[in-house]
Amino acid sequence: MRLRIILVLICGLALGTGCGSSRAAAFGHVAVVASTNVYGDIASQIGGTRVSVTSILTDPNADPHLFEPGTANGLAVAQARLVIENGLGYDAFMQRLVAATGSKARVVTVADVLGVHGKDANPHLWYDVPRLPRIAAAIAAGLAAADPSHAAAYRAGLARFDASLAPLRAEVARIRARFRGAPVAYTEPVPGYLLAAAGLRNLAPDAFTRAIEDGTEPTPAALAAMDALIAKRRVRVLLYNAQTVSPITVRLRDEARKAGVPVVPVTETLPPHLDFQQWQLGQAEALESALTR
Protein backbone atom coordinates (compact mmCIF):
# COMPACT_ATOMS: atom_id res chain seq x y z
CA MET A 1 0.00 0.00 0.00
CA ARG A 2 2.75 2.46 0.95
CA LEU A 3 4.64 1.71 -2.27
CA ARG A 4 1.55 2.28 -4.35
CA ILE A 5 0.89 5.65 -2.73
CA ILE A 6 4.50 6.72 -3.28
CA LEU A 7 4.32 5.74 -6.95
CA VAL A 8 1.13 7.71 -7.47
CA LEU A 9 2.64 10.75 -5.74
CA ILE A 10 5.68 10.53 -8.00
CA CYS A 11 3.32 10.43 -10.97
CA GLY A 12 1.58 13.56 -9.66
CA LEU A 13 4.87 15.40 -9.30
CA ALA A 14 5.79 14.48 -12.86
CA LEU A 15 2.52 15.92 -14.07
CA GLY A 16 3.12 19.09 -12.12
CA THR A 17 6.39 19.67 -13.98
CA GLY A 18 4.78 19.06 -17.37
CA CYS A 19 6.22 15.56 -17.81
CA GLY A 20 4.28 12.95 -19.78
CA SER A 21 2.11 15.09 -22.04
CA SER A 22 -1.02 13.31 -23.19
CA ARG A 23 -0.94 11.71 -26.64
CA ALA A 24 -4.71 11.97 -26.72
CA ALA A 25 -4.62 15.75 -26.24
CA ALA A 26 -1.93 16.08 -28.88
CA PHE A 27 -4.18 14.44 -31.47
CA GLY A 28 -7.41 16.10 -30.32
CA HIS A 29 -8.85 12.90 -28.88
CA VAL A 30 -10.87 12.58 -25.70
CA ALA A 31 -8.74 10.66 -23.20
CA VAL A 32 -10.82 7.95 -21.53
CA VAL A 33 -9.69 5.60 -18.77
CA ALA A 34 -11.81 2.53 -18.00
CA SER A 35 -11.22 0.27 -15.04
CA THR A 36 -11.60 -2.82 -17.25
CA ASN A 37 -11.35 -3.49 -20.96
CA VAL A 38 -15.05 -4.42 -20.88
CA TYR A 39 -16.07 -0.79 -20.43
CA GLY A 40 -13.07 0.36 -22.45
CA ASP A 41 -14.28 -1.58 -25.48
CA ILE A 42 -17.80 -0.16 -25.18
CA ALA A 43 -16.37 3.37 -24.95
CA SER A 44 -14.18 2.74 -28.00
CA GLN A 45 -17.12 1.51 -30.03
CA ILE A 46 -19.26 4.51 -29.11
CA GLY A 47 -16.51 7.11 -29.41
CA GLY A 48 -14.77 5.77 -32.50
CA THR A 49 -11.89 7.89 -33.73
CA ARG A 50 -12.80 10.73 -31.38
CA VAL A 51 -11.55 8.89 -28.28
CA SER A 52 -8.32 7.42 -26.98
CA VAL A 53 -9.12 4.70 -24.45
CA THR A 54 -6.87 3.24 -21.78
CA SER A 55 -8.19 0.11 -20.04
CA ILE A 56 -6.50 -0.79 -16.77
CA LEU A 57 -7.65 -4.40 -16.28
CA THR A 58 -6.94 -6.29 -19.50
CA ASP A 59 -5.35 -9.65 -18.65
CA PRO A 60 -7.90 -12.50 -19.00
CA ASN A 61 -5.65 -14.71 -16.87
CA ALA A 62 -5.39 -12.25 -13.98
CA ASP A 63 -7.58 -12.05 -10.89
CA PRO A 64 -9.22 -8.60 -10.91
CA HIS A 65 -9.74 -8.76 -7.15
CA LEU A 66 -5.96 -8.89 -6.56
CA PHE A 67 -5.01 -6.10 -8.98
CA GLU A 68 -2.70 -3.30 -7.84
CA PRO A 69 -2.36 -0.20 -10.07
CA GLY A 70 0.99 1.43 -10.83
CA THR A 71 2.33 4.79 -11.95
CA ALA A 72 1.27 4.40 -15.58
CA ASN A 73 -2.31 3.95 -14.42
CA GLY A 74 -2.07 7.05 -12.22
CA LEU A 75 -0.71 9.09 -15.11
CA ALA A 76 -3.52 7.97 -17.41
CA VAL A 77 -6.19 8.85 -14.84
CA ALA A 78 -4.62 12.24 -14.15
CA GLN A 79 -4.80 13.13 -17.84
CA ALA A 80 -8.23 11.65 -18.54
CA ARG A 81 -11.31 13.65 -19.41
CA LEU A 82 -13.61 10.70 -18.71
CA VAL A 83 -13.17 7.88 -16.20
CA ILE A 84 -15.41 4.79 -16.28
CA GLU A 85 -15.58 2.59 -13.20
CA ASN A 86 -17.80 -0.28 -12.15
CA GLY A 87 -18.33 0.52 -8.48
CA LEU A 88 -19.54 -1.82 -5.71
CA GLY A 89 -15.93 -2.23 -4.58
CA TYR A 90 -15.02 -4.23 -7.67
CA ASP A 91 -12.54 -1.64 -8.88
CA ALA A 92 -11.99 0.43 -5.74
CA PHE A 93 -8.51 1.27 -7.02
CA MET A 94 -10.11 3.71 -9.48
CA GLN A 95 -11.44 5.96 -6.72
CA ARG A 96 -8.03 5.93 -5.07
CA LEU A 97 -6.33 6.87 -8.34
CA VAL A 98 -8.76 9.71 -9.02
CA ALA A 99 -8.28 11.09 -5.52
CA ALA A 100 -4.50 10.63 -5.43
CA THR A 101 -3.89 12.27 -8.81
CA GLY A 102 -6.33 15.12 -8.36
CA SER A 103 -8.03 14.16 -11.61
CA LYS A 104 -10.71 16.53 -12.85
CA ALA A 105 -12.20 13.93 -15.17
CA ARG A 106 -15.90 13.23 -15.38
CA VAL A 107 -16.61 9.89 -13.71
CA VAL A 108 -19.22 7.37 -14.82
CA THR A 109 -19.90 4.79 -12.10
CA VAL A 110 -21.93 1.98 -13.62
CA ALA A 111 -23.39 0.80 -10.29
CA ASP A 112 -24.83 4.29 -9.74
CA VAL A 113 -26.21 4.37 -13.28
CA LEU A 114 -28.09 1.11 -12.66
CA GLY A 115 -28.99 1.92 -9.05
CA VAL A 116 -27.27 -1.20 -7.72
CA HIS A 117 -25.98 -0.80 -4.19
CA GLY A 118 -25.27 -2.81 -1.06
CA LYS A 119 -22.37 -4.93 0.13
CA ASP A 120 -24.03 -8.14 -1.10
CA ALA A 121 -24.81 -6.87 -4.61
CA ASN A 122 -23.35 -8.77 -7.55
CA PRO A 123 -20.72 -6.42 -9.04
CA HIS A 124 -20.48 -8.08 -12.47
CA LEU A 125 -22.87 -5.56 -14.01
CA TRP A 126 -21.70 -5.97 -17.62
CA TYR A 127 -23.42 -9.39 -17.70
CA ASP A 128 -26.81 -7.70 -17.27
CA VAL A 129 -27.91 -7.96 -20.91
CA PRO A 130 -31.29 -6.16 -20.55
CA ARG A 131 -29.58 -3.13 -19.00
CA LEU A 132 -26.57 -2.89 -21.31
CA PRO A 133 -28.25 -0.01 -23.22
CA ARG A 134 -28.38 2.00 -19.98
CA ILE A 135 -24.68 1.40 -19.37
CA ALA A 136 -23.84 2.40 -22.94
CA ALA A 137 -26.07 5.48 -22.74
CA ALA A 138 -24.27 6.66 -19.60
CA ILE A 139 -20.89 6.25 -21.30
CA ALA A 140 -22.13 8.14 -24.37
CA ALA A 141 -23.47 10.93 -22.15
CA GLY A 142 -20.12 11.11 -20.37
CA LEU A 143 -18.32 11.45 -23.69
CA ALA A 144 -20.74 14.15 -24.84
CA ALA A 145 -20.27 16.07 -21.59
CA ALA A 146 -16.50 15.87 -21.94
CA ASP A 147 -16.60 16.82 -25.64
CA PRO A 148 -19.86 18.70 -26.36
CA SER A 149 -18.89 19.71 -29.88
CA HIS A 150 -19.04 16.08 -30.98
CA ALA A 151 -22.17 15.06 -29.06
CA ALA A 152 -23.97 14.06 -32.25
CA ALA A 153 -21.17 11.63 -33.13
CA TYR A 154 -21.46 10.00 -29.73
CA ARG A 155 -25.24 9.67 -30.09
CA ALA A 156 -24.71 7.99 -33.44
CA GLY A 157 -22.11 5.68 -31.88
CA LEU A 158 -24.55 4.79 -29.13
CA ALA A 159 -27.24 3.94 -31.68
CA ARG A 160 -24.82 1.65 -33.54
CA PHE A 161 -23.79 -0.07 -30.33
CA ASP A 162 -27.38 -0.63 -29.22
CA ALA A 163 -28.28 -2.11 -32.61
CA SER A 164 -25.28 -4.45 -32.44
CA LEU A 165 -26.65 -6.02 -29.27
CA ALA A 166 -29.56 -7.59 -31.17
CA PRO A 167 -27.92 -11.04 -31.65
CA LEU A 168 -27.01 -11.23 -27.97
CA ARG A 169 -30.50 -10.24 -26.86
CA ALA A 170 -31.99 -12.79 -29.26
CA GLU A 171 -29.74 -15.55 -27.90
CA VAL A 172 -30.71 -14.79 -24.31
CA ALA A 173 -34.39 -14.79 -25.30
CA ARG A 174 -33.90 -18.14 -27.05
CA ILE A 175 -32.38 -19.69 -23.92
CA ARG A 176 -35.23 -18.32 -21.84
CA ALA A 177 -37.85 -19.73 -24.22
CA ARG A 178 -36.26 -23.19 -24.36
CA PHE A 179 -34.88 -23.68 -20.87
CA ARG A 180 -36.65 -21.31 -18.49
CA GLY A 181 -36.42 -22.66 -14.94
CA ALA A 182 -33.58 -25.07 -15.71
CA PRO A 183 -31.26 -25.59 -12.70
CA VAL A 184 -27.63 -24.56 -13.09
CA ALA A 185 -24.77 -23.62 -10.77
CA TYR A 186 -21.77 -21.32 -10.87
CA THR A 187 -18.52 -21.23 -8.92
CA GLU A 188 -18.78 -17.44 -8.53
CA PRO A 189 -21.59 -14.94 -9.25
CA VAL A 190 -19.84 -13.71 -12.42
CA PRO A 191 -22.65 -14.75 -14.83
CA GLY A 192 -25.47 -14.18 -12.34
CA TYR A 193 -27.20 -11.40 -14.27
CA LEU A 194 -27.02 -13.39 -17.50
CA LEU A 195 -28.66 -16.39 -15.85
CA ALA A 196 -31.41 -14.19 -14.42
CA ALA A 197 -32.11 -12.67 -17.83
CA ALA A 198 -32.22 -16.17 -19.36
CA GLY A 199 -34.64 -17.39 -16.71
CA LEU A 200 -32.31 -20.06 -15.32
CA ARG A 201 -32.16 -21.09 -11.65
CA ASN A 202 -28.81 -20.95 -9.89
CA LEU A 203 -28.69 -23.62 -7.17
CA ALA A 204 -25.14 -22.97 -5.97
CA PRO A 205 -25.16 -22.11 -2.27
CA ASP A 206 -24.48 -18.43 -1.67
CA ALA A 207 -22.16 -19.41 1.18
CA PHE A 208 -20.01 -21.27 -1.34
CA THR A 209 -19.95 -18.75 -4.20
CA ARG A 210 -19.34 -15.72 -1.99
CA ALA A 211 -16.48 -17.44 -0.21
CA ILE A 212 -14.84 -18.32 -3.53
CA GLU A 213 -15.32 -14.76 -4.76
CA ASP A 214 -13.78 -13.37 -1.55
CA GLY A 215 -10.85 -15.78 -1.74
CA THR A 216 -11.78 -17.58 1.48
CA GLU A 217 -12.57 -21.19 2.31
CA PRO A 218 -16.23 -22.21 2.02
CA THR A 219 -17.72 -23.81 5.09
CA PRO A 220 -17.81 -27.63 5.12
CA ALA A 221 -21.60 -27.49 4.81
CA ALA A 222 -21.44 -25.18 1.78
CA LEU A 223 -18.79 -27.33 0.14
CA ALA A 224 -20.79 -30.50 0.76
CA ALA A 225 -23.91 -28.90 -0.72
CA MET A 226 -22.02 -27.85 -3.83
CA ASP A 227 -20.48 -31.29 -4.23
CA ALA A 228 -23.92 -32.88 -3.98
CA LEU A 229 -25.29 -30.71 -6.78
CA ILE A 230 -22.62 -32.08 -9.08
CA ALA A 231 -22.38 -35.69 -7.90
CA LYS A 232 -26.16 -36.17 -8.00
CA ARG A 233 -26.51 -34.19 -11.24
CA ARG A 234 -29.04 -31.82 -9.80
CA VAL A 235 -27.84 -29.09 -12.19
CA ARG A 236 -27.75 -29.06 -15.98
CA VAL A 237 -24.60 -26.94 -16.30
CA LEU A 238 -21.72 -25.71 -14.16
CA LEU A 239 -20.53 -22.20 -15.07
CA TYR A 240 -16.90 -21.93 -14.10
CA ASN A 241 -14.94 -18.71 -13.59
CA ALA A 242 -11.84 -19.57 -15.61
CA GLN A 243 -10.15 -16.34 -14.59
CA THR A 244 -10.13 -16.84 -10.82
CA VAL A 245 -9.37 -20.44 -9.92
CA SER A 246 -8.47 -22.28 -6.73
CA PRO A 247 -7.88 -25.92 -5.84
CA ILE A 248 -11.51 -26.12 -4.76
CA THR A 249 -12.94 -24.79 -8.03
CA VAL A 250 -10.56 -26.87 -10.14
CA ARG A 251 -11.63 -30.00 -8.28
CA LEU A 252 -15.28 -29.07 -8.70
CA ARG A 253 -14.80 -28.52 -12.42
CA ASP A 254 -13.11 -31.90 -12.79
CA GLU A 255 -15.83 -33.63 -10.78
CA ALA A 256 -18.49 -32.06 -12.98
CA ARG A 257 -16.82 -33.41 -16.09
CA LYS A 258 -16.58 -36.88 -14.56
CA ALA A 259 -20.25 -36.77 -13.59
CA GLY A 260 -21.29 -35.70 -17.09
CA VAL A 261 -22.32 -32.18 -16.09
CA PRO A 262 -21.29 -29.79 -18.88
CA VAL A 263 -18.87 -27.04 -17.83
CA VAL A 264 -19.07 -23.58 -19.40
CA PRO A 265 -16.09 -21.30 -18.67
CA VAL A 266 -16.74 -17.58 -18.17
CA THR A 267 -14.34 -14.69 -17.64
CA GLU A 268 -14.47 -11.26 -16.03
CA THR A 269 -12.45 -9.31 -18.59
CA LEU A 270 -12.61 -9.22 -22.37
CA PRO A 271 -10.45 -11.92 -24.01
CA PRO A 272 -7.95 -10.84 -26.70
CA HIS A 273 -9.14 -10.33 -30.28
CA LEU A 274 -12.84 -10.16 -29.39
CA ASP A 275 -15.16 -7.22 -28.97
CA PHE A 276 -17.73 -7.08 -26.19
CA GLN A 277 -20.59 -8.41 -28.29
CA GLN A 278 -18.61 -11.35 -29.69
CA TRP A 279 -17.44 -12.31 -26.21
CA GLN A 280 -20.84 -12.21 -24.56
CA LEU A 281 -22.61 -13.86 -27.47
CA GLY A 282 -20.04 -16.68 -27.53
CA GLN A 283 -20.55 -17.36 -23.84
CA ALA A 284 -24.34 -17.32 -24.19
CA GLU A 285 -24.18 -19.69 -27.15
CA ALA A 286 -21.90 -22.02 -25.18
CA LEU A 287 -24.46 -21.99 -22.37
CA GLU A 288 -27.30 -22.89 -24.73
CA SER A 289 -25.23 -25.68 -26.26
CA ALA A 290 -24.45 -27.09 -22.82
CA LEU A 291 -28.12 -27.00 -21.82
CA THR A 292 -29.06 -29.13 -24.84
CA ARG A 293 -26.82 -32.04 -23.78
Model pLDDT, residue 16: 41
- Residue 5 clears pLDDT 50, i.e. is over it: no
| Mean pLDDT on 161-176 | 98
**Structure confidence by residue, pLDDT tens digits, 225-261:** 999 999 999 999 999 999 888 999 999 999 999 999 9
For residue 11, name the pLDDT band (cuts at 50, 70, 90): very low
**Structure confidence by residue, pLDDT tens digits, 55-107:** 999 987 777 777 888 889 999 999 999 999 999 999 999 999 999 999 999 99
Judge if 280 and 209 occupy the same domain: yes
Q: Exposed e or buried b for every residue in 166-193, given b needs 16+ CB within 10 A?
A: eebbebbeebeeebeebbbbbbbbbbbb
**Structure confidence by residue, pLDDT tens digits, 32-67:** 999 999 999 999 999 999 999 999 999 877 777 778
Q: Considering the entire predicted model, what is its pTM?
A: 0.90
Judge if 155 and 180 occupy the same domain: no
Judge if 148 and 176 occupy the same domain: no
For residue 220, name the pLDDT band (cuts at 50, 70, 90): very high
| Mean pLDDT on 151-160 | 98
Angstrom distances, CA of residue 173 to CA of 35, 194, 275: 29, 11, 21
Residues 6 or more apart whose Cβ sits within 8 Å of residue 289? none
- Residue 3 clears pLDDT 50, i.e. is over it: no
Q: Domain containing 50 — which CATH number?
A: 3.40.50.1980
Judge if 149 and 180 occupy the same domain: no
Judge if 9 and 104 occupy the same domain: yes
Model pLDDT, residue 23: 57
Share the mean pLDDT of the chain: 91
At residue 203, φ and ψ (nearest 5 deg) are: -105, 0
Judge if 13 and 86 occupy the same domain: yes
Judge if 128 and 8 occupy the same domain: yes
Model pLDDT, residue 50: 97
Q: Which of 114, 149, 164 is the last residue of a domain?
A: 164
CA distance 126 to 38: 8
Report angle CA 283, 113, 5 to the nearest 5 degrees: 90
Sheet strand arrangement including 201-202: 201-202, 183-186, 238-241, 263-266
Judge if 52 and 197 occupy the same domain: no
Judge if 82 and 214 occupy the same domain: no
Judge if 238 and 260 occupy the same domain: yes
- Please tell me what DSSP assigns to residue 262: -
Judge if 113 and 226 occupy the same domain: no
Model pLDDT, residue 35: 96
Domains contained in the chain, number: 2
Judge if 204 and 120 occupy the same domain: no
**Structure confidence by residue, pLDDT tens digits, 95-148:** 999 999 999 999 999 999 999 999 899 999 999 999 999 999 999 999 999 999
- Residue 9 clears pLDDT 60, i.e. is over it: no
Helices (runs of H) and strands (runs of E) counted in the chain? 14, 8
20-34, 53-67, 200-214: which has the minimum mean pLDDT? 20-34
Query: By C-alpha distance, which of 18, 29, 122, 46 is closest to 80?
Result: 29
Q: Which of 164, 179, 207 is the last residue of a domain?
A: 164
Q: Which of 164, 188, 220 is the last residue of a domain?
A: 164
Model pLDDT, residue 27: 62
Q: Domain range spanning residue 190?
A: 167-291
